[in-house]
Structure 1
Amino acid sequence: MVLVNNTIRFMNFTQKQLTSSEFTNSVDENEVDLRVYLNIINRYKWRILRLTLLIGLLAWLISYTLQPIYTATTTFLINVESPNIVSVQEFSVRNDQMKTQIDILSSMQVWEETVARIQKQFPEKFQPQPRKIPSLFGMPLDWQTWLSDWGISTTPVPPTNALEPPRLPSKGYLVIQDTKGSQIVAIAYDSPDPELASAIPNTLAEVYVENDLESRLQMTQKATVWLTERLDGLRGKLEDSEKNLQGFTESQKLVDVAGVKSVASQELSQISLDLGSARRKLAETSNMYEQIQRAKGKPLDVLVTIPAVFADPLVGSLKSTEVGLEQKASELGKRYGSQHPEMIAVKTELETNRANLARAVQRIIDSVTKQYEVDRANVATLDRSMRQKEGEIQSINRKQYDLGVRQRDVEANRQLYDMFLARFKETGVTQTEQKTIGRIVDAAVTPTTAYKPKKLKLVAVAMIAGLLFSIFLAFLLEHLNNTLKHGDDVEQKLGMSLLGILPRLTNRKSKQRPLFVFVEEEHSYFAESIRSMRTGIMLSNVDNPHKTLLVTSSLPAEGKTTFATNQAFALGQLDKTVLIDADMRRPSVGKGFGLTDNAPGLSEMVAGTKPFTECIHRLEGVDIDLIPSGMLPPNPLELLSSQHFAEVLKELEKQYKYVVIDSAPIHAVSDALMIAKVASAVIYVTKADFTPYQLIRGDIRRLMLINKTPIGVVLNQVIPKELSRYYGTKYGYYGGYSDYYGTYGSSATKKIVAS
């Protein structure tokens, strides 16, 4: 069934020939398949298991060498609501903050005093102790000695009976944890000695309470002395500020600064209103004045058009009279001429009217000019008055500011003096009060069991980490392996069709010959794979069957000669077939069939030194003919690229149904490229888990450049057990395939087939 499936996949794939770009795109496609990852884990499962167990064993050994650690906890209540003895911020402790008290509790001063008390309480525990060596089941585990014996350690190893210097308790093992919403904190300490683990938290709490009482008493005494000195200074400062205020009031003759400032403000407001009106009026006059100045020196007709002039009633009347006289003069000029008495009278009247108009315009211009000068002088006067009044108000503001400064100074000094006087009285009353900052709720008890190490947890975590590391290492090794390991790699990494899979020949039989496996073990899995690939070759191009088949590979020792020979045997069962050894560099087919090195072959046929009948060797017991390489030419590439070689192949195609050519590796030399140009089809053979797929892709791309895309890839020398690991139980019967075919030809089976 697997062989049929491979054939169907090959037929579907060959219906579409890949171009060079399609080849590259198909290779770069990455499809996520969970089964691929599961198969990788399945292939490396025993190595993963061994490494995981090894890491677990090392963790177990290390856990027994670790020193046991004991922990004890003291529950302590911090009284943050205790009244302040001295309320001055500069000298009081802010007892309303839990974090502040925890910081004090964990301070270095409290810790050093605690260690000093512990040394006095347990003097025997801080004496030099004999060197302890960890043991497992009574056997000492002295790693330092072992490393020294192996020559790894460079430091001198102390003797077994040597004394170790005493180690003081470390603050790093102290943990203080508060409870949210509560004033209780937990003081815990880890130590290899259970007595120290319980004594240190209790002693720390006692030292903290005593230090708090002592510090508050000292601060109270210091505050009393400081307050006394400060009150004397504040009293003198208050008196000086009051005298300064009184002297300033008398020197400036200040009675009611607010009333004087109010009158000045009202006057300034009225001047500001008058100045605004004057400026608006000046703006109007200035506009008319500028129009007149721009028209100065221009004809009367232009001056009349000025809005200020044109708006005057007299000018308007004179202008209308002038228009009427001009119209009358025009009519008389047409009727009587310029010398007529009536015409002369009209002209005289017109000149008189224009003179009156000129005097009226000049009167208006003079009036506007005078009004402009008056308005400008008015604005200047009001502006000076306003600046003078503003100066008066600024002077009043400065005096008011200086007065306010002195008044505030007096008030601040008075308040500070009153406050210090009140605190001084309070300090004298409360000096004898001493309330503790906290108390022990539950004292620490000497532990009987070690807190850590948790050996089972340590081993479990180590094994889980080891398992993850082993799986990661397996995927890393798989990723670094860039060879083709199974059939799916051919399509995924090369973008080529898989023609078939050939198992590795185990050589368990002493007389097994790789070139003759197909004819000598015709019921083996190897032979059946050859038949399946023969079917794929025949179905790859049904309309125009391939006659000349070129078999090549990337590197030597990939099994191309074995495949070419056995495939020739398979094709020979169907029709007349000839096998050609075209590997002019390292020929091996002739020797495999028992021919001598001097046997005529391909080189003689192409050169024409021997007739075809002498170069074609008839083999006994098989259905194919053989053409060995013949005498090795000095330049094989020149021989294979000649026209004579192409003519020889055409002649052989007339005599034989199939021509199978075994060529040199394509990556080493270009012989296979020359043969591929005249061959009908190319079959690419590669060894499983041997050749990097990047190398194969490059060689296949060289074939594509000459339009000779291989019809399929043969994955050779695959280990059936490894194949089943890649595919899982789906392909698990690969390992027993040869056994199945080994019994396929038994007498009982033959009887069944015959019936």
Structure 2
Amino acid sequence: KENLVNVTGVKSVAIKQIEQTTSYLVSARQQFTQAKSVYQQIQKLRGYSSEAFESIPAVLNHSLVQSLKTAELDAARRISELREHYGEKHPKIIAKKAELNTARYNTAKQIALVIDGITKEYEVAKANVKALEQSLKTNKNKIKELNRKEYQLKVLQRDVDVNRQLYDLFLTRFKETNASQDIQKLQSTVGRVIENALIATVPYKPKKKRIVAISLVLGFLLSTLLAFLLEYLDNTLKDSEDVEQKLGLPLLGSLSKLKVGKKDKFKPQWMFLKESKSQFAEAVRTIRTGIMLTGIDTPQKVLVVTSSVPGEGKTTLAISQALALGQMDKTLLIEADMRRPSIAKSFGLNSKAPGLSELVAGTRQFEECIRHLGEGDEGGIDVIVSGTVPPNPLELLASKRFKEILGQLVKNYRYIVIDSAPTMPVSDASVLAKYASEVVYVVKANATPHQIVREGLKRLRQVNVSVNGIILNQLPTRSSSRYHYSKYAYYKNYYGGSGNYGYTTQS
């Protein structure tokens, strides 16, 4: 199976082959080194005349080259002797010059042949070394394989010896037993039945009732511990108590999480107008009332809406609040989140339409950038979209030009709602908050860690901007089915127009 007849013999033959190949390889490497040295000398002189190669000993010592060089020297010596008696145009001198040129040509031709021979010797020596190295590597691998097979053979041989000993032992015992039986001729039985075994009516193991009881107790304990652990590790904000305890700020209002699919008729931005009696719309009105009451003496309200990170619903709240304030007085919505604008798309406007960036840059006028949306009781408002996304939004918002534009807009509008970028990624909100009479901070419930919210509020305080309350957004439906006012709450169906309403004490 393993193509082995005698491991020791095969191994000794392989070792001899390795020794012989190693000896040949040493000799071949010496020849290759010599040939490589001469070859490198020739390569350095490539492009020179044949006389340059005469400086190489291997070329100069060649017998034919030496004989041709001798003939060349003899011809040159004869020309020198004839010049003592004749002029350069004498026929004898001309003949000797022709003979000298022929000798030089033959010498150059022979040198070229010698160089070709040296190059071939170098290539042959190189190939010979490579072949011997490959042969040596093959023989070494063969030795390794023989050692592995020899080890396996010893393991198998050891198993054979052990099994043979066991076989001999069992065979001896078997013979001894047969012999004793023949001699003694047992006449009595080896054993007899004294009493029949009784079959139990109840299984001894496993005790299923005990296992079920223990499993229920352990499951209850583990689930309780897991619930407490998850509650302890949860660092998000879930209700007003979390907001007050972890942030030290009151809850200005909360919005429930809307189930909006791709095929839904209304988007969240239009929910306030299209479903004016819904829980969401009433929550927006409640937030509007809270914002108005926080600064009732302020003649103009500049409201900046921001959050800690993207995706917390600040733009939806800004649009809804602008629509709610628009039902009371003249209102303007400014999209100052020029890094990720979305208001233009929400209202179905052209994303390339001129807006705040063009207005601050001075390339467009007010009437070109302000658009009126909605009429009558539906909450008509004016909107300034972000416009073309600039490379430096923060510089535009911090410019003197923006301050002047905001001053002019304050004179024309009772309420101005500014949708700002989040506080953590960029500093746009810190710049806009300086111009605001009220800052609304939106936090996504059960999502944003309170440490991130506190860091965002800290950044606003560093620029002397205070936040009076928090908006808790996207509360789960079960948590937001009731609106909390102190210790009382009333249900969503009260606003649905069904007439079935009632009050309940908060547990």
TM-score bucket of the superposed structures, by smaller chain: 0.5 to 0.7
Counterpart of 1:619? Answer: 373
Alignment of 1:138-153 (within 5 A): none
How many pairs were matched up?
298
The reply on whether 1:535 has 2:289 as its aligned counterpart is yes
Kindly indicate whether the alpha-carbon contact (under 8 Å) linking 1:538 and 1:545 is maintained by their aligned counterparts in 2: no
Once the 2 structures are TM-superposed, how far is the Cα of residue 457 of structure 1 from its aligned partner?
Answer: 3.6
Contact 1:503–1:718 (8 Å) recurs in 2: yes
Structure 2: distance between partners of 1:560 and 1:507: 17
Q: Which has the higher helix share?
A: 1
Q: Contact 2:256–2:477 (CA<8 Å) still a contact in 1? A: yes
Q: How does 1:323-342 map to 2 (within 5 A)?
A: none
Distance 1:545 1:501, change over 3 A: farther
Give the counterpart of 1:697 among 454, 463, 467.
454
Q: 1:505 offset after TM fit, Å?
A: 1.4
Give, in whole Å, the separation in 1 of the partners of 2:287 and 2:404: 28
- Deviation string 1:715-741 (CA, Å, 9 cap, x unpaired) is 1111221446999xx88965xx1x442
Q: Is 1:571 aligned to 2:337, yes or no? A: no
Would the aligned equivalents of 1:549 and 1:658 in 2 still touch at CA under 8 Å?
A: yes
Instruction: Choose from 467, 472, 495 the match for 1:715.
Output: 472
Counterpart position of 2:90: none
Contact kept, 8 Å, 1:582 with 1:629, in 2: the verdict is yes
Instruction: Tell me if structure 2 keeps the 8 A contact 1:585–1:636.
Output: yes
Compute the displacement of 1:458 (Å). Answer: 3.8
**1:496 aligned to 2:249?**
yes
The alignment status of 1:460 with 2:213, answered yes or no, reads yes
Q: In 1, Cα distance between the equivalents of 2:444 and 2:300?
A: 24
Q: Which of 258, 281, 287 is matched with 1:505 structurally? A: 258
The Cα offsets for residues 628-665 of structure 1, whole Å up to 9 and x where unpaired, read as 11122110010011111111111111100110000111
* 1:40-71: CA deviation from partner (whole Å, max 9, x where unpaired): xxxxxxxxxxxxxxxxxxxxxxxxxxxxxxxx
Deviation for aligned residue 1:569: 0.8
2: CA distance between counterparts of 1:690 and 1:495? 19
Is 1:593 the counterpart of 2:334? The answer is no
What is the distance in 1 between the residues matched to 2:291 and 2:313? 18
| TM-score of the superposed pair, with normalisation by structure 1 | 0.37
Q: Output the CA distance in 2 between the equivalents of 1:546 and 1:654.
A: 9
One-letter amino acid of the counterpart of residue 721, structure 1: R
Say if 2:428 is the partner of 1:674. no
For residue 539 of structure 1, give the secondary structure of its aligned residue in structure 2: helix
Q: Contact 1:601–1:630 at 8 Å: present in 2 too? A: yes
Distance of aligned partners of 1:542 and 1:523 in 2 relative to their CA distance in 1, 3 Å threshold: same
Pick the structure with greater CA Rg: 1
Q: Residue 482 of structure 2 contacts residue 490 of structure 2 at CA under 8 Å; is this kept in 1? A: no
Name the counterpart of 2:364: 610
Give yes or no for the alignment of 1:556 onto 2:310: yes
SS across alignment from 1:563 = helix
Does the 8 Å CA contact 2:423/2:459 hold for their aligned counterparts?
Answer: no
Q: Mean Cα displacement is larger for which, 449-458 or 495-504?
A: 449-458
How many angstroms apart in 2 are the aligned matches of 1:725 and 1:607?
47
Aligned counterparts of 2:351 and 2:420: Cα–Cα separation in 1? 17
Q: Structure 2 counterpart of 1:686, which letter?
A: V
The DSSP-based 3-state class of the residue aligned with 1:716 is strand
Equivalent residue, structure 1, for 2:240 = 487
CA deviations on 1:106-148 (whole Å, 9 max, x unpaired) are xxxxxxxxxxxxxxxxxxxxxxxxxxxxxxxxxxxxxxxxxxx
Alpha carbons of structure 1 residues 541 and 731: separation in structure 2 relative to 1, 3 Å: closer
Give per-residue Cα distances to partners, 1:515-556, cap 9 Å, x unaligned.
Answer: 111111110000100111111011112223561110001111
1:723 touches 1:731 (CA, 8 Å); kept in 2? no
Contact 1:590 1:628 in 2 (8 A): yes
SS in 2 for 1:610: coil
- Counterpart of 1:648 (choices 401, 405, 425) is 405
Q: CA deviation at 1:685?
A: 0.7
For 1:565 and 1:572, how far apart are their aligned partners in 2? 10
| CA gap 1:546/1:689 in 2 versus in 1, 3 angstroms | farther
Question: CA 1:725 to 1:733, structure 2 compared with 1: closer, same or farther past 3 Å?
Answer: closer
Instruction: After TM superposition, give the deviation of residue 678 of structure 1 in Å.
Output: 1.6
SS for the counterpart of 1:682 is: strand
Matched, 1:638 2:395: yes
For residues 453 and 723 of structure 1, what CA distance do their matches in structure 2 show? Answer: 49
Q: Quote the residue 2:25 is aligned against.
A: none
Amino acid across the alignment from 1:606: V
Q: Name the counterpart of 2:101.
A: none
Letter of the 1:658 partner, please give it: Y
Q: 1:490 to 1:547 in 2, by over 3 A?
A: same
Q: Deviations over 1:665-722 (max 9, x none)?
A: 1111111111111221210011111111111110111111112121211111112214
The Cα of 1:609 is off from its aligned counterpart by 1.6
In 2, distance between residues paired with 1:733 and 1:470?
33
> 1:709 is paired with a residue of what secondary structure?
coil
Corresponding letter in the other structure for 1:591: K
Q: Which residue of 2 aligns with 1:686?
A: 443
CA contact (8 A) 2:358 2:388 kept: yes
- Partners of 1:593 and 1:637 lie apart in 2 by 25
Distance 1:731 1:472, change over 3 A: farther
Whole-Å Cα distance in 1 between the matches of residues 299 and 245 of structure 2? 28
**Contact in 1 for aligned 2:255/2:480 (Cα 8 Å):** no
Task: Call closer, same or farther: CA 1:724–1:480 in 2, change over 3 Å.
Answer: farther
| TM superposition shift of 1:485 | 1.8
| SS at structure 2 position matched to 1:632 | coil
1:499 offset after TM fit, Å? 0.9
Matched, 1:473 2:230: no
Matches within 5 A, 1:133-212: none
Matched, 1:583 2:340: no
Conserved 8 A contact 2:305-2:318: yes
Counterpart of 1:520 (choices 274, 282, 298) is 274
* Amino acid corresponding to residue 648 of structure 1 in structure 2: I
Instruction: Give, as a single letter, the amino acid of the residue that structure 1 aligns with 2:462.
Output: L
Partner Cα distance (1:540, 1:575) in 2: 18
Unmatched tracts of structure 1, length 5 or more? 1-446, 750-755
Q: Is the 8 A contact 1:546 1:681 kept in 2?
A: no
Letter of the aligned partner of 1:467 in structure 2?
A: F
Partner SS, residue 710 of structure 1: coil
2:390 counterpart letter in structure 1? P
**Contact 1:724-1:731 within 8 A present in 2 as well:** no
Q: Identity over the aligned pairs, expressed in percent?
A: 55
Give the letter for the 2:260 counterpart.
N
> Is the Cα–Cα contact under 8 Å of residues 483 and 490 in structure 2 kept in the other structure?
no
Amino acid at match of 1:478: E
Residue type at the aligned position of 1:572: G
Matched with 2:143 is none
CA distance in 2, matches of 1:457, 1:531: 59
